[in-house]
C-alpha cells in the first residue's frame, strides 16, 4: 500500500516533470527526474513525456537497480543512483537535454566564472565531465564525482545533471544553469568575457552565506 508520503512525492515529481517541459528544459521523452525515497528512489519511467507521465507511472527503484511494477525506470537510473550514493544531502536529481547546456556540453566546455551567479552551483565554475554512453555506470560515476563539490555539472556531448534539496529546488537549479549557459554563449559572441578573480569569488561566497544565495551553496 502506498503511503501518504510516497503519494505526495509521486504527485510532486509528476508536476515538476511537466513544469520542466513548460520552461523548455526537456522536449519529447528526453530527460528524467527522481527523488530519494526510503533506501532507494522514485524516478520517471523509461520513455516518459509530459503528456504521458502520471503519479502511478513513477517507478520505485532501489539504488542497485531493482524496481517494482511493470514500468521500467529511466535508462539513466544508474546516474541518479550514483549521485544519491555519493552525496547524502541530495534529495532530488534532475537530468535534462536543455538547448544551451547541450550546446556547451557538445564543446566539452565547462561554464566558467563569468558571472557571480555561477557561484550558486557551489564553486567558481560548473564542470563538464567527459562523454560516456548513456545509461552506463561510467557516466553515473563521473557525474556523481563532479556533484560532490557542485550542485550541477554538464555531461559531455549529452546534457546536464543537478542535485537539490527537493524536486522544486533541483528543477530551479536546472533552469538557472540553462539561463547561465545561454548568457555565457551570448557574451562569447562579443569576445571572451572577463572572469571573476579569486578575490572576488571569496567575497561572493562570504556574502552569499549571509543572504538568500546561501541556500544554494
Domains of the chain: 4-215 (3.40.225.10)
Is the Cβ–Cβ distance between 105 and 46 less than 8 Å? no
Model pLDDT for residues 111-169, shown as the tens digit of each residue: 999 999 999 999 999 999 999 999 999 999 999 999 999 999 999 999 999 999 999 99
Full-prediction pTM beyond 0.85? yes
Model pLDDT for residues 83-113, shown as the tens digit of each residue: 999 999 999 999 999 999 999 999 999 999 9
Cell triple for 1: 500500500
Cell triple for 216: 544554494
Q: Which residues are catalytic?
A: 76
d(CA 121, CA 117): 8
* pLDDT confidence tier of residue 210, bands split at 50, 70 and 90: confident
Amino acid at each position: 500500500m502506498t503511503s501518504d508520503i510516497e503519494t505526495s512525492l509521486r504527485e510532486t515529481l509528476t508536476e515538476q516533470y511537466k513544469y520542466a517541459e513548460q520552461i523548455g528544459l526537456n522536449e519529447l521523452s528526453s530527460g528524467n527526474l527522481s527523488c530519494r525515497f526510503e533506501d532507494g528512489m522514485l524516478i520517471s519511467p523509461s520513455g516518459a513525456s509530459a503528456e504521458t507521465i502520471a503519479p502511478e507511472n513513477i517507478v520505485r527503484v532501489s539504488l542497485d537497480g531493482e524496481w517494482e511494477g511493470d514500468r521500467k525506470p529511466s535508462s539513466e537510473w544508474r546516474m541518479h543512483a550514483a549521485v544519491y550514493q555519493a552525496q547524502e544531502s541530495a534529495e532530488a536529481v534532475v537530468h535534462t537535454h536543455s538547448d544551451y547546456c547541450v550546446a556547451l556540453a557538445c564543446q566539452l566546455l565547462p561554464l566558467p566564472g563569468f558571472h557571480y551567479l555561477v557561484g550558486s552551483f557551489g564553486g567558481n565554475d560548473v564542470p563538464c565531465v567527459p562523454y560516456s554512453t548513456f545509461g552506463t555506470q561510467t557516466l553515473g560515476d563521473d557525474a556523481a564525482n563532479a556533484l560532490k563539490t557542485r550542485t550541477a555539472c554538464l555531461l559531455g556531448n549529452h546534457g546536464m545533471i543537478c542535485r537539490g534539496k527537493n524536486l522544486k529546488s533541483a528543477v530551479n537549479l536546472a533552469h538557472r544553469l540553462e539561463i547561465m549557459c545561454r548568457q555565457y554563449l551570448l557574451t562569447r559572441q562579443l569576445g571572451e568575457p572577463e572572469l571573476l578573480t579569486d578575490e572576488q569569488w571569496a567575497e561572493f561566497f562570504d556574502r552569499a552565506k549571509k543572504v538568500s544565495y546561501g541556500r544554494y551553496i
